[in-house]
Amino acid sequence: MIDFGAMTNALVACDADKITGLVNDALAAGTPAADILNKGLIAGMDIVGEKMESGDMFIPEVLMAAQVMGSCVEILKPMLGEDDDVSPGSVIIGTVKGDLHDIGKNLVAMMMESAGLEVHNLGVDIAPESFVEEIKKKNAQIVCLSALLTTTMPAMKQTVDAIVESGLRDQVKIMVGGAPVTQAFADEIGADGFSADAGSASKMAKSFAAD
Ligand code: B1M
């Protein structure tokens, strides 16, 4: 019986040694990597978020938790791939301007790579004009925008608008995601797709690439 709660607690306590031990033990016991990610790690980051909101955790501690989460994701990475089918399709992904959150965006990038897509991860705080430049440089077919703050959601619309103004809109599918983003918002700003998590984002990108 895997104790996902112990993983969650170790993440909230930023105890890297303990959590990496628990993750490795769970993998050795045959626990699916996706369960460890969802039931142990993401559950822990949700508690970190609540503590951040209530003032029980401060930014340096949240950053430490994010680093610990990153190390665990590195351990899980080889096991998280969906399948070995290689499909064509060049994807660029980035967190929009003003937003520094990258854990979820990196998970999405990783799942898409595992699904055989060519992924160019631009990083965080990416301006609309930089997305446009990168679409041209990488000849991208799919653009993925991530935002974790309600205050940076407007930057998603600005990015879609910049792509329209550049004349490249017909060449790319635009996908959006991140905790505050919804299907209704995606529709409102003229995106082609919304995904709530990394797995469904990867599936959607594969289906766009196959079009
Ligand atoms: Co920030 N933060 N943060 N933070 N932070 C949140 C998002 C918050 C909800 C916490 C809270 O108050 N409860 C809150 C936002 C409130 C709001 O706007 N509604 C918040 C705030 C307020 C802030 C600051 C403003 C705090 C301050 O300075 N006072 C500040 C802003 C800085 C900035 O960006 N300009 C800030 C800073 C930070 C840190 C830098 C300290 C750190 C980020 C470190 C990093 O990313 N390297 C941080 C963290 C870690 C969080 C929480 C705790 C965790 C985020 C996370 O990594 N989740 C977060 C609370 C929470 O989310 N529960 C919080 C785990 C991750 C796997 O999930 O990112 O949702 P997620 O990704 C999922 C899906 O959303 C989806 O797939 C992923 C995997 O399944 N997805 C996509 C994501 N991107 C996608 C793109 C796609 C498709 C799907 O493209 C197609």
Give the domain CATH number at 32.
1.10.1240.10
| pLDDT at res. 86 | 44
> CA 84 to CA 86: how far, in whole Å?
6
| pLDDT at res. 151 | 98
How confident is the model over 98-136, as pLDDT tens digits? 999 999 999 899 888 867 789 999 999 999 999 999 999
How confident is the model over 154-179, as pLDDT tens digits? 999 999 999 999 999 999 999 999 99
With tokens 């599918």, the residue in question is 173
The interaxial angle of helices 198-210 and 103-114, nearest 10 deg, is 50
Choose one of 80, 103, 129: the last residue of a domain: 80
> CA 190 to CA 137: how far, in whole Å?
23
pLDDT at 10 over 90: yes
Residues 46 and 106 in one domain: no
Q: Does 148 reside within a domain? A: yes
Kindly state the average pLDDT of the residues 72-77.
Answer: 90
Range of the domain at 25: 4-80
Whole-structure pTM value: 0.88
Choose one of 35, 57, 80: the last residue of a domain: 80
The residue nearest atom 10 of ligand 1, judged by CA position, is 49
The residue nearest atom 82 of ligand 1, judged by CA position, is 177
Alpha carbon of 11 to ligand 1 centroid (Å): 15
Which residues, at least 6 apart from 209, have a Cβ–Cβ distance to it below 8 Å?
Answer: 87, 88, 89, 91, 117, 141, 142
The CATH number assigned to the domain holding 161 equals 3.40.50.280
Residues 96 and 66 in one domain: no
CB of residue 141 inside a 6 A radius of ligand 1: no
User: Which candidate, 133, 132, 124, places its Cα nearest to that of 159?
Assistant: 132
77-91, 109-123, 178-192 — which is least confidently predicted? 77-91
In this structure, the chain runs to a length of 211
> Beta strands 173-177 and 193-195: pairing type?
parallel
The total number of structural domains in the chain stands at: 2
CB of residue 45 inside a 6 A radius of ligand 1: yes
Residue 34 CB neighbour total at 10 angstroms:
16
How confident is the model over 16-27, as pLDDT tens digits? 999 999 999 999
Choose one of 51, 80, 109: the last residue of a domain: 80
Residues 49 and 117 in one domain: no
> CA 65 to CA 48: how far, in whole Å?
8
| pLDDT at res. 1 | 79
Are residues 157 and 128 in contact, defined by beta-carbon separation less than 8 angstroms? no
pLDDT at 84 over 50: no
The residue nearest atom 21 of ligand 1, judged by CA position, is 149
Rama region for 190: left / alpha / beta (φ>0; ψ in -120 to 50; rest): left
> CA 192 to CA 30: how far, in whole Å?
37
% of residues, the chain, pLDDT over 90 = 71
Residues 94 and 74 in one domain: no
pLDDT at 195 over 80: yes
